[in-house]
Amino acid sequence: MSGVTMKGTRRRMRAGAFALAALALAGCSSADGVAGQVGDAGYIAGDGFVTEVPLEERQAPGEFGGPLADGGEFESSELDGVALVNFWYAACPPCRVEAPVLAELHAEFGDEVDFIGVNTRDGAAQAIAFEEQFGIDYPSILDDESAEAQLAFTGIVAPNAVPSTLVLDKEGRVAARVSGAVSDTSILATLLREELER
According to the model, what pLDDT value does residue 38 have?
36
Q: Global pTM?
A: 0.76
Each residue's pLDDT tens digit, 8-30? 433 333 333 333 333 333 333 33
pLDDT of residue 161: 72
**How confident is residue 158, by pLDDT bands cut at 50, 70 and 90?**
low
pLDDT reported for residue 47: 59
- CATH number of the domain at 31-197, please? 3.40.30.10
User: What's the CA gap between 77 and 114, in Å, rounded?
Assistant: 12
Domain ranges of the chain: 31-197
**Each residue's pLDDT tens digit, 83-133:** 999 999 999 999 999 999 999 999 999 999 999 999 999 999 999 999 999
Task: Encode pLDDT of 126-148 as tens digits.
Answer: 999 999 999 999 999 999 999 99
Alpha carbon separation from 63 to 66, 77, 78, 173 (Å, rounded): 11, 7, 10, 12
